[in-house]
Structure 1
Amino acid sequence: MKNLKLITTIIIFLLICKIPISCEKLIDVDIPNNQIDQIKVFEDVQTANAALSGLYASLYDDSPLSGDLTGSIMGAYTDDLDFYPPTNTDGTLDLYTNLLIAGNPKIYSYWAAAYQKVYMANAIIEGVDNSMSLTSADKTRIKGEALLVRSLLFFYLQQTFGDIPLPISTDYQVNQSLGKTSSGDVLNKLVTDLNDCRNMLTDDYRNNERIYPNRKVADLMLAKIYLLQNRWNDAEASLKSIVQNPLYPFQNDITKVFINSGKHIIWQLKPKNNGDATKEAKLYFFVNSAPNTFALTPSLMNTFSTLDKRKLNWISSVTVGSNTWFRPSKYKNQTNNLTEYSIIFRLEEAYLLLAESLANQNKIDEALPYVNAIRQRAGLTNLAGQFTQSEILDEILLESRREFFTEHGHRFFDLKRTGRLNVLIGVKPNWKSYHNLWPLPQKELTLNPNMNPQNTGY
């Protein structure tokens, strides 16, 4: 992975000196001749925390967790978003039409952005391990946060590409020739690492705004992996540790779900500058004109009843002439935004995942209340009566679609986890079964032949 650069120290330097340079400018920067000594960076907790802040800022700027195109492309890849590009040369249109090739630049940028942040996380982990001055408590917490971020990124990469390289150090000589680790082994590694994170982190947040992850983020990620591994009981235990925690009361007001002070929020990322709109608010906004990026698909819109409060509060219609489009409006502030951050995980996801884990154990009566809590808030009637396992799993998947549209590619990952991606064959004209994985970027295969073979179908 030749594109991975040693940028952590540069970000720390900019944070300390408060130089107003965008993070995007750092992605292609070569290793500087005057790097800040890593020992100095981790000689006190302030600069070490600055390294973590740089990592979170980079996640917000460009990563699978970003609210911009990188984090939203899976909605267009599946059936939640239609794409309306005035011109497009970055590969997004080919992803939308499911005409994938290994040379697609958007696929490469998704891959590169994620691995750059993996490298940054590794640099922090190594810096903490080598520090002679940080307290044991600070070292444990900082390493736990960095390891958690790395695990998140590996998860998204594995779900998107399948077998992937697992760089766990900053050693360029090692990383540039890494072969792939099988998907099963990746998931096993993540279970180990996330359990380590649980031991390193606490339930307490180190900031009231919940902009830094805590132990419950690790619990949620563990549950997702347990579900992929059919470890239903383990997933249930992890998710109950969240939904039964008094830190996370259920938000019953549909209009307050995306307000940054909500206690149902498990983790969120703060915009770079005070007053900035979230990336989601900017990406999906259009008014008095046809869309020039994305709009919600008729397929998604048809899942909502007319009385669903999510349709009424989280979706806006735009009519021009005889044409009407629908845009996501979960995040509403375009200017002077002080009340919205980009939510990564919220309690409702734990509810629906818990319902899924219970349903897979045929505990259908136990699963229903978690689905119904979300339906009640949306103004829908409770699910009642007798459900087969298949029927309740269908309802959970449908509720997840209505709840989490345009939130970091939920639709793709939900369909994949439940083995239902092929429902897209009837919706997306070019969908093939092998589209459950993207091709490995051709640029990476050329640089590192050890990553061969290419994914099936490409």
Structure 2
Amino acid sequence: MKKYNINLRTTPIIELNVNDRNMLPMAFVAVKIPFFFIFLLLITISCDKLVEVDDPDNQIGTHQVFEDLQSANAALSGLYSGLLNSSVISGGSDGMGAVLGTYTDDLDCYYVNNNSGALELYQNQQIPTNPMIEKTWNTAYQQIYAANSIIVGVNGSVSLGTEDKNRIKGEALLVRSLIYFYLQQVYQEIPYTETTDYQINSHLSKLTKEALLQKLEADLSLAVSLLSDTYRNTERIYPNKKVAELLLAKVYILQQKWPQAEQLTGNIIQSSLYQLEQDITKVFKKGGKHILWQLKPLNSGDSTKEASLYYFSGAAPNAYALSTNLINIFAPADLRRQAWMTSVTVSQNTWYRAAKYKNLSGNTDEYSIIFRIEEAYLIIAEALARQNKVTEALPYLNAIRQRAGSPPLTGSWTKDAFLQELLLEIRREFFAEMGQRFMTLKRFDRLGDLVTIKPNWKSYHTAWPLPQKELLLNANLNPQNPGY
């Protein structure tokens, strides 16, 4: 029987060499990842699963982690750190803001000799061995495993108080649900697990979209019941009940449960916790009451990942620039075009960079925003319109338009005409954020529009291929997605 000892150090990263990698599912193995992932991975696998963990003086066991509030909070903080550094919601190069922004038509990719797989996704030439597709899958399931470890640990704790157990479990459920939400959107049918048992996880089958969304509805409803409206940090760097409600509303929209989505987003909008930020130049400042949840940079003074990724000046872009197609949907007087985009001209060639986040050094007032109240306004507008309540939907869409300096929509609108305007407004408001463009086009059944914009777009590109390595390791994940 092999023994794996984990040293907990003050540094957030350790290196672990695992020789028998086939003992663990591919998605749950990494050579170098945040220590709590490895820690939670190994301490929660029992002896009958071929892993035994000693408990010397310089180590912590599962029972110790979840019997002490400080250690339990540290495990949860590690989960958030992983989201910031590399995840579907990271603002960096592997986050869905950039990857899906170029996969659709918000961003152009200018990488040269880049082996990350991002350029192939931009060119809509992805294959099942694409590195970015594999990384997205593996990182997501590592983080799901970590969330499951926290949930299992909290459920088994006999020392944590009920309020603390509810909060920690609720936050872990929310994070897990958010990751599953993105995985379903990009891969379509995916496996779902609540366990830390590697033998079960290594033989999972895929769930249909409908079945997965039912799971997320149940998980998020539980998270809503466990969480409080009160933020545990005034900077809103940890989610509260309203964040869970907003994500649940997004699930309801995918399920076409329009009244439920309307009710939830209406409650969020009416909450005294939030209000629209009327000054466009302050939307991406950390102190606004329009923010539901944001992620804080690791070190004081660090820029957000978005600010660093999208910046270029004095030369042609070498990573990302805003597409001409996106620029052209903005009226010149739109304040978002003026405040959230910056032109860069070199040798009579002009590009535009995304400039929602502006601080490159000495950052004191920008965090990476995950959810903001504007999304609730646009979701309720869609939910109302889908129920043929266009007149009721107009004020919510107009609130977003008018604060951007655009005239309100007036007169009588058909449902289809209104939804077309809504589709455009979501793009103007959320370009290069969290993969919103891809998910909105998919929800509206409009991804096919990209065939006139992107030369290699195919009808089956509504989903990515499943990673080839995963299909070889687990035959239950077959068949491969159509077209690949």
Same fold (TM over 0.5): yes
For the aligned residue pairs, the C-alpha RMSD in angstroms reads: 1.9
1:68 corresponding residue in structure 2: 92
Q: Counterpart amino acid of 1:75? A: G
- The residue aligned with 1:59 is 83
Q: How does 1:195-214 map to 2 (within 5 A)?
A: 195-214=221-240
Indicate the SS of the match to 1:415: helix
- Check conservation: 1:77, 1:98, Cα contact below 8 A: yes
- Which residue of the partner structure matches residue 296 of structure 1? 322
Asked if residue 180 in structure 1 is aligned to residue 187 in structure 2, the reply is no
CA distance in 2, matches of 1:400, 1:46: 40
Deviation at 1:371, TM superposition (A): 0.9
> 1:77 aligned to 2:103?
yes
- Alpha carbons 1:24, 1:61 under 8 Å: kept: no
Task: Give 1:336 shift.
Answer: 0.8
Distance in 1 (alpha carbons) for counterparts of 2:143 and 2:474: 20
Residue 362 of structure 1: how far off its partner (Å): 1.1
- Specify whether residues 454 and 19 from structure 1 end up closer, same or farther in structure 2 by C-alpha distance, changes over 3 A only: closer
Q: CA deviation at 1:229?
A: 1.2
C-alpha separation between the residues in 2 aligned to 1:205 and 1:48?
18
| Shift >2 Å, 4+ stretches | 17-25, 27-36
TM-score norm. by structure 1 comes to: 0.95
Residue correspondence of structure 1 range 297-312 to structure 2 within 5 A: 297-312=323-338
Specify the code of the residue in structure 1 equivalent to 2:86.
D
Deviates more, 1:315-324 or 1:32-41: 32-41
Q: What residue is the counterpart of 2:22 in the other structure?
A: none
Report the TM-score, using the length of structure 2 for normalisation.
Answer: 0.90
Q: Distance in 1 between matches of 2:319 and 2:465?
A: 24
The number of aligned residues is 448
What per-residue deviation string (whole Å, max 9, x for no partner) do you get for residues 93-142 of structure 1? 11001012111111000111111110110010011011121111111111
1:84–1:293 contact (8 Å) kept in structure 2: yes
Indicate conservation of the 8 Å contact 1:328/1:406, yes or no. yes
Deviations 1:284-317 (A, max 9, x none): 0000010000000000000011111101100000
What is the distance in 1 between the residues matched to 2:115 and 2:13? 30
Residue 470 of structure 2: aligned partner? 444
Paired AA for residue 193 in structure 1 = D
Cα distance between partner residues in 2 of 1:457 and 1:424: 17
Instruction: Establish whether residue 363 from structure 1 lines up as the match of residue 389 from structure 2.
Output: yes
Q: Give how far 1:86 is off.
A: 2.3
The aligned counterpart of 1:272 is: 298
Partner letter of residue 178 of structure 1? L
The whole-number CA distance in structure 2 between the counterparts of 1:395 and 1:447 is 45
Q: Give the 3-state SS of the residue equivalent to 1:67 in structure 2.
A: coil
Q: Structure 2 matches for 1:307-318, cutoff 5 A? A: 307-318=333-344
Q: Match of 1:39, as an amino acid?
A: H
- 2:13, 2:104 → 1: CA distance? 37
1:18 is displaced (CA, Å) by 4.9
Q: How many angstroms does 1:25 deviate by?
A: 3.5
Residue pair 2:13, 2:33 contacting (<8 A) in 1 also: no
Structure 1 counterpart of 2:91, one-letter code = G
Give aligned-pair identity as a percent: 55
- Give the Cα–Cα distance (whole angstroms) in 1 for the partners of residues 194 and 234 of structure 2: 31
C-alpha contact (below 8 Å) 2:13/2:32 kept by paired residues: no
1:26 aligns with 2:33: yes
Tell me which of 257, 262, 274 is aligned to 2:283.
257
Is the CA contact (8 Å cut-off) linking 2:284 and 2:369 kept in structure 1?
yes
